[in-house]
Structure 1
Amino acid sequence: MAALTIEFFHDVVCCWCYNISSRLRTLAHEFNLDVRHRTFVLQASRAEMEARWGQPDAARAAILGHWEACRRVSDRPEGINIEAMRRASFDYPHGLVAAKACKAAERIGGQAAHWDMFDRLQHAHLTKALNVEDSATARLAACEMGLDQAEFARLLDDPQTYRAVESDRQLARAFQVRVVPTLIVRQTGARLVNGPLEDLRAQLRAAIRLVA
């Protein structure tokens, strides 16, 4: 039986989620955590991107400023390729297609497949500077994972997959989640404070003592 269930709200295009995901993988093994992956798309369309960030050039500049801050405290700074994204020919992507890809993978292979898809798409986005708004990027990740290509393509466009994304959004509202990454201990409702691995480890030890 898992020691704790952690609700992990994330967005593929969130650089801070990249830092947390690798740390949480380490801690999930160490503490026998049940990590439940929840998509939380910050902007789901071009219109929402413009409303939040302004014109595409301004959006890219502002978001890459977040990348720079994130890379300074990352355990894997080599995976955050700011210059490649600065040179990319496409506008900075929204996260809806990537979220649907994660939920499609989940429908095929459960939470483990969701996490693997999330990490692969973050690598495509942050390291390779591929366009995760393009479904071809998601299909490539699915191929690399060994998922059935026809089934993945069908599920990616299935309205039920979009409804699964919306269901995660509704759960986020219930938890009053407004930013990503957000980590919530299901047993206590406590939120883990995003930080270095050792800080997260200490918070988990405290949470386990509370529920023991």
Structure 2
Amino acid sequence: MASLTVDFFHDVVCCWCFNISSRMRALDAEFDLDIQHRTFVLQASRAEMATRWGAPEDARATILGHWAACREVSDRPERVDIDAMRAAPFEYPHGLTAALGCKAAERLGGQAAHWDMADRLQRAHLTEARNVADPATVLHAARDLGFESAAFADVFEDPATRRAVEADRQYARALQVRSIPTLIVRETGSRLVNGPREDLAAQLRAALRLAA
């Protein structure tokens, strides 16, 4: 039995989620966690991007400023390629398409597959400067992870997958999740504060004591 169950809310286009995912992988092994991955789409369309950030060039400039701050505290700063995304020939992407890819992977392969897809798409986004709002990027990632192309495409396009993304959104609302990454320990209701691996480990040890 896992020591703690942690709901991990994240969005592929969130650089801070990229930082914390690798840390949680290490802590998952150390603490034998049951991590439940939840999509949390910050903006779900070009229109929502425009409402939140303004013109596409303004969105890119502002968000890449966030990337710079995130890169400063990353364990792998070389994997956050700001210059490549600055030069990318597409508008800064929304997160819905990637979320559908993560949920399709989950429906086919469970929580481990969701996490693998989220990490693969984050590398595509942050390291390779690919357009994760393009379904072709998601389908390419699925092939990289060993999914059979036609089977994955069927689930990716299935309306039930979109409903699963919406179910995560409703769950987030019920827990009053308003920002990401958010990690909630179910046994205690505590929320882990994003930070270095050592800080996260200390918080997990405290949660274990409370849950005992």
Give the TM-score, by structure 2 length. Answer: 0.99
The offset of 1:201, in angstroms, is 0.4
Q: Where does residue 63 of structure 1 map in the other structure?
A: 63
Q: Where does residue 19 of structure 1 map in the other structure?
A: 19
Q: Where does residue 92 of structure 1 map in the other structure?
A: 92
Q: Where does residue 129 of structure 1 map in the other structure?
A: 129
AA aligned opposite 2:153: A
Q: Which runs of 5+ in 2 are unaligned?
A: none
1:105 lines up with 2:97 in the alignment:
no
The offset of 1:188, in angstroms, is 1.0
1:34 lines up with 2:34 in the alignment:
yes
CA deviations 1:77-103 (Å, max 9, x no partner) are 011000000000000000000000000
The separation in 1 between residues aligned to 2:57 and 2:80, in whole angstroms, is: 19
* Percent of aligned pairs with the same amino acid: 70
The offset of 1:200, in angstroms, is 0.2
The separation in 2 between residues aligned to 1:28 and 1:108, in whole angstroms, is: 22
Q: Where does residue 138 of structure 1 map in the other structure?
A: 138
AA aligned opposite 2:64: L
**Counterparts of residues 43-192 of structure 1 (less than 5 Å):** 43-192=43-192
Query: 3-state SS of the aligned residue for 1:115?
Result: helix
AA aligned opposite 1:116: D
AA aligned opposite 1:91: E
AA aligned opposite 1:136: A
The separation in 1 between residues aligned to 2:76 and 2:2, in whole angstroms, is: 27
The separation in 1 between residues aligned to 2:202 and 2:62, in whole angstroms, is: 33
CA deviations 1:26-73 (Å, max 9, x no partner) are 000000000000000000001100000000000000000000000000
The offset of 1:148, in angstroms, is 1.4
The separation in 1 between residues aligned to 2:22 and 2:61, in whole angstroms, is: 26
Q: Which runs of 5+ in 1 are unaligned?
A: none
The separation in 2 between residues aligned to 1:25 and 1:79, in whole angstroms, is: 17
CA deviations 1:161-199 (Å, max 9, x no partner) are 000000000000011001010000011111000001100
AA aligned opposite 2:151: E
The separation in 1 between residues aligned to 2:68 and 2:104, in whole angstroms, is: 31
The separation in 1 between residues aligned to 2:189 and 2:173, in whole angstroms, is: 14
The separation in 1 between residues aligned to 2:147 and 2:106, in whole angstroms, is: 11
The offset of 1:122, in angstroms, is 0.1
The runs of at least 4 aligned residues of structure 1 exceeding 3 Å deviation read none
Query: 3-state SS of the aligned residue for 2:109?
Result: helix
AA aligned opposite 1:49: M
CA deviations 1:118-148 (Å, max 9, x no partner) are 0000000000000000000001110011011
Query: 3-state SS of the aligned residue for 1:9?
Result: strand
CA deviations 1:11-34 (Å, max 9, x no partner) are 000000000000000000000000
CA root-mean-square deviation? 0.4
How many residues are treated as equivalent by the alignment? 212
